[in-house]
Amino acid sequence: MIHSHRAFSHLVHAMGEESFDDDQLRHAAWIARCAGRGPTAPLNLGEFTELADRVEIGPLAAGTLVFSAGAPADGVWMVKQGRVELSVGSERGRTVVDVLRPGDVDGDIALLLGMPLAYTARTLTEASCMFLPASAFEALLANDPAIARRWFSSVAQRVSAGQGRLINMLGRPLPTQVAQLLLDEAVDGSVHLAQRTLAAMLGVQRPSLTKTLKEFERHDLISIDDDTISIIDAERLRRLESAH
């Protein structure tokens, strides 16, 4: 087992973004949709724990930088406990694009494609994360065909699901698009994404999104509190989403 101070020594490196535009935000938000979670995660927590000889594990205090936007992907991360916030922008002007929870896997697609990381990850709570370095990840795929097959199947499912979401939104009225996005992004009945993020994902101006959300709220479909949107009537939203 690699000691946690070695495992996370590279976390102190930060590539601070002072500003970003909506195109960067949109890119980061859609890439975040491709994180492995639930049934699309390539490994479960038990299987990852079995790889203890190749996995670096360490406890992280709330607010700890995990990785930085623009840095090269150097391995695969899995959240064992706690929550990890994904965001773009500097500390004062950051916008959240997603939150990783226990069992979620990130970094594998960027690593496989040789892409820089699209967002910064920072722990929201005290957390425990497991890190599979690039060399160990490559060795795992090369030496275990069953895991390699499942991992690539997981990646394909996630990319396909993201493409499907985009196709389903094309040419549809904005209220229908917003309803679909809220249903897709809800976790335990709530969407914890800033309206700027949601607007960027839909490719619309924020005032247009705000107007639609206020209309939903007026009809008791949702309630809005800061950057949290709670779904009150999922069934009516679902009917609206499937109406076109």
Stretch 91-115: mean pLDDT? 87
The per-residue pLDDT for range 154-181, each reduced to its tens digit, is 999 998 988 887 787 778 899 999 998 8
All residues at 6 or more sequence positions from 80 whose CB lies less than 8 Å from its CB, including other chains = 45, 48, 57, 102, 127, 128, 129, 130
**What six digits make up the tokens of 49?**
């724990």
The C-alpha atoms of residue 48 and residue 14 are separated, in whole angstroms, by 27
β-pair type (65-67, 56-60): unpaired
Q: Which residue's entry shows tokens 């996005």?
A: 181
The per-residue pLDDT for range 48-69, each reduced to its tens digit, is 777 777 777 778 999 999 999 9
User: What is the side-by-side strand order in the sheet with 190-191?
Assistant: 190-191, 228-231, 222-225
**What six digits make up the tokens of 215?**
């209309």
| pLDDT confidence band for 215 (50 / 70 / 90) | very high
SS (H, E, C) 213-231: HHHHHHCCCEEEECCEEEE
Rg (CA), the chain: 19
Burial of 225: CB neighbours in 10 Å, binned 0-12, 13-18, 19+: exposed
Stretch 7-33: mean pLDDT? 63
